Amino acid sequence: MAAQEKLIKALKKNYDRRLFAVEVLKPVFGNLLEVYTSLRSPSEPPKDTESKVIEEAGIYGRIHLEDDVEVLCYEIRLKDRVRIDRSKVAFNIM
């Protein structure tokens, strides 16, 4: 199966943090990706507008790019009945 087909298949699955890291991020970033065993708290708490729509936010990994840039991987769970297409302004995340 071609890499693109594998990626499309992985993105169509129900979201699971571990599977997303293994099936989507790992093939792209390889050993540059570090996945934590549990969610870590962000350095800043959510702002008032964010806490109205966010149930939980955490960092589940990081990508160490070759030019010494680090990209944090966030998982953000929204509160019930929040529609992301109507709440974009509330997502000025950390």
pLDDT digits (tens, 9 = 90+) for 54-63: 888 899 999 9
Per the structure, the complete domain to which residue 7 belongs is given by: 3-90
Helix (H) or strand (E) holding 17: helix 17-20
Task: Classify the C-alpha dihedral 6-9-14-15 as positive or negative.
Answer: positive
- Going by C-alpha positions, the residue among 93, 13, 90 that lies closest to residue 52 is 90
Single-letter amino acid, residue 34: E
Please state whether the predicted TM-score (pTM) of the whole model is above 0.85: no
Residue 23 is predicted with a pLDDT of: 92
Strands annotated E in 1-94? 33-40, 54-64, 70-78
Q: Which of 21-35, 42-56, 68-82 has the lowest average pLDDT? A: 42-56
pLDDT band at 82 (very low <50, low <70, confident <90, very high): confident
Cβ(67)–Cβ(24) below 8 Å: no
What is the number of structural domains in the chain?
1
- 92 has a pLDDT exceeding 80: no
